[in-house]
Amino acid sequence: MAKLQPVRGTHDLIGDEARSHLAIAGAAREIAERYGFAPMATPIFEFTEVFQRTLGDTSDIVTKEMYTFEDKGGNSLTLRPEGTAGVARAFISGGLQNELPLKCFYHGPMFRHERPQKGRQRQFHQFGVELIGVAEPTADVEVIAMAADILDTLGILSETTLELNTLGDAQSKEQYREALVAYFSGVSDKLSEESRDRLVRNPLRILDSKDAGDRALLADAPRFDDYMTEEAAAFFAAVQDGLETVGVAFKRNPHIVRGLDYYSHTAFEFTTEALGAQGTVLAGGRYDGLIETMGGPRTPGVGWGAGLERLAMMTDAAPAVTRAITLVGLGEAGEREALRLSGVLRHAGLTVELVYKGGLKRGLKRADRINAAVAVLIGDDELERGTVTVRNLDTGEQSDVAIADLKDHLAAYR
């Protein structure tokens, strides 16, 4: 039988890497709780419609990237490619309209069938937040400030730039769309094939193109600001004011349009030069039309998602772990006492590594490999005297300690 391989684009998180993901999610969670956000966990798969309707038929995700399959009951299901649609679905099906504003955060795997490369996997992980039910620009400011706080806690805020844009309201978008179609239709022979297709399906996304020829054409393209309604301009001004008030620096980038169709007003990305081509670590925006599109009551919302893999690459240092006390039982009675003591010490809050078998030499080797702080040697002779040998593994110092005193003796290692 062929050796089993992981599926292309998936990755096992082992040891420090898994720990680093947990630490990042834990730090993000702590900040989110401080902002008054509560955890929410939605299923990893949903009816395909949940994503198809919300992400729009022209988005990259829906057209190319979804893991869609039929289950045994004949339902079309899709592994979630992002978190917002599931939260919005839960909001509607759970009847949470009376719980507004709904403030939640989530963390977990997402699935997109894309070409794997550094910082781009087919199963990856996101931490994200949603603030539903608040139409005021303060909500945008708050979720962006929270994102900045999280990046700051992780020690990487200074390596990122907040790129901010507005997509305006429906009327601004429509006026701008017409202007873009007029402009790009005139130069369509110079557009990339993909953008010619976008011109018909979703012209705004041409602004997002990575093609050099398309980008050259953007220089003379109509500017969104000339097509914005007064209301949309005022909203954007308020968001910028708010960010200044809370001291979050940003740069206007009119080319941030976001891949998804349901965004309006604020769109933003925290980008970095540190990761090469996959430079966006956290991205989000306002989605006032989303819940209505899904058949719910018209309800505004704003949120973001951050890729844990990309955050982990930037924070690379493995989080600190409490060093263990290694218990080495020597002989049958010693092993039994080691097992008993492991419980006593763990209940006292110590981190304990029990050596399962193999005597002194193997026990100390194991202690060295896991960088234990202390080895406790439990042999028959000592047991008879009611003591154990405690060896400080940094200094090599050794002392006899009465078994009854052991937990207090080791209290400093908690």
Residues 112-131 that bind ligand ATP (CB under 6 A): 112, 114, 119-121, 124, 126
- Residue with the shortest CB distance to ligand ATP: 307
Token representation of residue 200: 């018909």
The residues in 251-270 that bind ligand ATP, with binding defined as CB under 6 A, are: 259
**Piece of the chain touching ligand ATP by CB under 6 A; list 50-58, 147-155, 160-168, 304-312:** 304-312
Nearer CB in complex with ligand ATP: 61/403: 61
CB of residue 272 vs ligand ATP: minimum separation in angstroms? 10
| Residue 255, CA atoms < 13 Å, CB-side half-sphere | 12
Helices 230-246 and 137-153, packing angle to 10 deg: 40
Print the binding letters for residues 132-171 with ligand ATP: x by CB under 6 A, - otherwise: ----------------------------------------
Q: Are 335 and 329 in contact (CB under 8 A)?
A: yes
Q: Which of residues 283, 290, 328, 390 is near ligand ATP by CB under 6 A?
A: 283
What would the two tokens of residue 372 be?
């234990």
Considering the complex, state which of residue 82 and residue 382 has its C-beta at the smaller distance from ligand ATP: 82
Among residues 161 and 351, whose Cβ is nearest to ligand ATP? 161
What dihedral angle (degrees, nearest 10) is formed by the CA atoms of 10, 16, 81, 282?
Answer: -130
Total number of residues binding ligand ATP (CB under 6 A)?
19
Nearest residue to 300 (alpha-carbon basis) of 309, 308, 310, 292: 292
Minimum separation from the CB atom of position 150 to ligand ATP (A): 13
Per DSSP, 301 falls in state E
Cβ proximity to ligand ATP: between 60 and 292 the closer is: 60
**DSSP conformation letters of 320-357:** P-PPPEEEEE-HHHHHHHHHHHHHHHHHTT--EEE--S
Positions 39 through 98 that interact with ligand ATP (CB under 6 A): 82
* Helix, strand, or coil (residue 216): helix
| Closer by beta carbon to ligand ATP, 48 or else 280 | 280
What is the distance between the alpha carbons of residues 20 and 223, in angstroms, rounded to a whole number?
42
Characterize 175-187 residue by residue with b for buried, 16 or more Cβ atoms within 10 angstroms of its Cβ, and e for exposed.
Answer: bbeebbbebbeee
Burial 90-110 (b: 16+ CB within 10 A, else e): bbbeeebeeeeebbbbbbbeb
- At closest approach, how far in Å is the CB of 261 from ligand ATP? 12
Site string for ligand ATP, 196-235 (x = CB under 6 A): ----------------------------------------
Nearer Cβ to ligand ATP, position 9 or 101?
A: 9
User: Site residues (CB under 6 A) for ligand ATP?
Assistant: 82, 112, 114, 119-121, 124, 126, 259, 278, 280-283, 305-307, 309-310
